[in-house]
Amino acid sequence: MTPTPTGLAPPVRPEQVTPEQARRRRGIGVAVAAGAVAGLGYLVGHDPHDPRVAMPLCPVRHLTRLDCPACGSLRATYDLLHGHWAHAAHDNVFALACAPLLAVLLTRQARAVWQGRRAPLPAAPAYGLGAAAAVWMLVRNICG
């Protein structure tokens, strides 16, 4: 950045990031994408329905004995990767229903990061997803 006559850096608009921040964010984005691909690669060959397979524990379930909104998502993803839609819906219908919205939001965020912009999650989808997740957690623990 070129300093102004006062010696201070010019202000950055809220939706913009500095070139250094953009590079760092791109690197983080690539690392996250690589981790996701590696995780999916592991999941393709390892069935989380089998209790002998090493899979991460849900911290909410471990601490409270309640199913969180995401419990069953690994099993559902495994089922989707193998073309078993009905099994995926049985494992976590909420995650399956939210997948298109989450894919759109993830794509939006990835594009913004790659272009060096900020893309905060709009309030309506954030509160909507949070409320829907809370309702799903109640329903699945009371009725399940």
76 within domain boundaries: yes
**Mean pLDDT, residues 116-124 taken together:** 84
- Segments forming the whole domain that contains residue 52: 19-143
CA separation for the pair 16, 99 (Å, rounded): 28
Place of tokens 């839609």: 85
The yes-or-no verdict on residue 4 having pLDDT over 70 is no
pLDDT in tens, 12-45: 455 677 888 888 989 998 999 999 999 999 999 9
Output the pLDDT for position 42. 95
Percentage of the chain lying above the pLDDT 70 cut = 88
60 within domain boundaries: yes
96 within domain boundaries: yes
Contact present, 97 and 105 (Cβ < 8 Å): no
78 within domain boundaries: yes
8 within domain boundaries: no
Q: What does the DSSP 8-state code read for residue 2?
A: P
51 within domain boundaries: yes
Output the pLDDT for position 15. 61
Query: How many structural domains comprise the chain?
Result: 1
57 within domain boundaries: yes
Letter for the amino acid at 35? Answer: G
12 within domain boundaries: no
Predicted TM-score (pTM) of the model is: 0.77
